[in-house]
Amino acid sequence: MIPFRLGLSIAALLLSSSAVAQGQSDPAALNFRLDTAATTIRWTLGATVHTVHGTFRLKSGELRLDPATRGASGLISVDATTGESGNGARDRRMHREILESSQHPAITFRPTHVTGTLNPVTTGPITLDGVLTLHGQDHPLQLAITLHRNGDVLTAETNFDVPYVAWGMKDPSTFIFRVEKQVHIDVSAAAPVPR
């Protein structure tokens, strides 16, 4: 027969072990606020004469990733009106006829699910599923993201293609000047490491 005090000690030890195990399997969610100044968004559009390169600016970005449920939430917002390629006439046409950025000034991504190892100390690849809203329309999008840590800063790199013509936007091609029906996007985002 176990003495009463020893029984209480064993029960307390089991409860504390259970709490530790539960804490390990249910870690706290990770919250990220993207640094707009340290985030770059570049786009590339192939064309018959030459490849067009340009940029957009990040307006804001917040992510919440839950390692326990694999849920993701938040909002990443890109200022569509900042799109530029270095050619004023081409950019005015892009904003007026293709992006229609005066009517659709934001391009957003709302994450919904994450897979991969979520650990700011041992970084690596993750996959983020969500919804991209472009030109007023929602489209499912899956991002393969590579995470790197440099001191107290976490960087995330991803790239993907946007089939803008298939998504209902105007094809800027002419009889002579032809462009691809999809634009390639490269993103490098930075955020402080969650504490």
Enumerate domains of the chain plus CATH numbers: 27-192 (2.40.128.110)
Express as a percent the part of the chain with pLDDT over 90: 66
pLDDT in tens, 19-64: 333 333 445 788 999 999 999 999 999 988 789 999 999 999 999 9
Which structure tokens are listed for 58? 């990040």
Q: Find the helix or strand (DSSP H, E) in which 117 lies.
A: none
Say yes or no to pLDDT of 15 above 90: no
Q: Give Cα separations from 174 to 10, 76, 169 (angstroms).
A: 79, 33, 15
Q: Span 88-113, mean pLDDT?
A: 95
Q: Span 77-90, mean pLDDT?
A: 96
**Residue 107 and residue 74 in contact, taking contact as beta carbons nearer than 8 Å:** no
